[in-house]
Amino acid sequence: MSIEYNLATIQKDIEEACHLVGRNPEDITIIGVTKYVTIERTEQLIQTGIQHIGENRTDEMLKKYEALKSSNVKWHFIGTLQSRKVRDIIDFVDVIHSVDRLSVVRQISNRANRTIDCFVQVNVSGEESKHGLLKEETIEFIESLYDYKNIRIIGLMTMAPYTKDESVIRKVFQELRALRDKIRAKNLPYAPCNDLSMGMSNDYKIAIEEGATHIRIGTKLVGESK
């Protein structure tokens, strides 16, 4: 299928999910995840009008950025970030979705020459294989960031477990939203925490119904082939 076709399908789904719960489709940012595909295919994706690109490895992201920087898209880092790799992307990254450790915060804070929008990644389901903070740790972690420069916590990010059971996925998204609401209510100047980065190819409709503001879509948009 062409990327245009895929995007039209996704946009229709977004409209339907928004309609169901009384949201505005304009409040949903689609991040096109290009980790499976080439620079050429990423370029085709950008030509369809997608303005946000997501990558989960710093080397691959740097390569694509170098090739495509004239296109003016926003660059989202969505993978596990090692603190020593922060410097490879800090000069051009727009949003980091995977902050879950002070060592990473420290690197971002020290190396950035502007404020970087970040999501704190939460492991809502508590699966051992997943990255991110446990729910119980998240508030304290965010409260501990008041002293770091150049960091703005714009929201929380999670990945739902791999399961066909929609109720399990929905519950994870609901829990992330409830946690977001608690943090937002604290009115921390460096952590407005308005946004929710949740929903991938298999579960973005559920995520939107549960309040996602940023959905990260790879397979369903550009396919998997390198």
* Interacting residue ranges for ligand PLP, rule: CB under 6 A: 33, 35, 56, 78-79, 159, 200-202, 216-220
CB of 100 to ligand PLP, least distance (A): 12
Would you say 6 or 107 has its CB closer to ligand PLP? 6
Nearer to ligand PLP, 65 or 119 (CB): 119
Nearest residue (CB) to ligand PLP, 59 versus 143? 59
Alpha-carbon distance of 65 to 221, in angstroms, equals 19
DSSP string, 137-195: HHHHHHHTTTT-TTEEEEEEE----S-S-HHHHHHHHHHHHHHHHHHHHTTBTTB---E
CB contact set of 32 (below 8 Å; sequence gap of 6+): 42, 45, 50, 52, 53, 54, 217, 218, 221, 222
> 10: closest CA among 29, 35, 34, 23?
29
Q: Smallest gap, in angstroms, from Cβ of residue 160 to ligand PLP?
A: 10
| Residue nearer to ligand PLP on the CB measure, 30 or 105 | 30
Between CA 114 and CA 117 the distance in angstroms is 10
Nearer residue to ligand PLP within complex by CB, 90 or 157? 157
Instruction: Please report how close the Cβ of residue 158 comes to ligand PLP at its closest, in angstroms.
Output: 9
Rounded to a whole number of angstroms, the minimum distance from the CB of residue 215 to ligand PLP is 9
Write down the least CB distance from residue 130 to ligand PLP, Å: 10
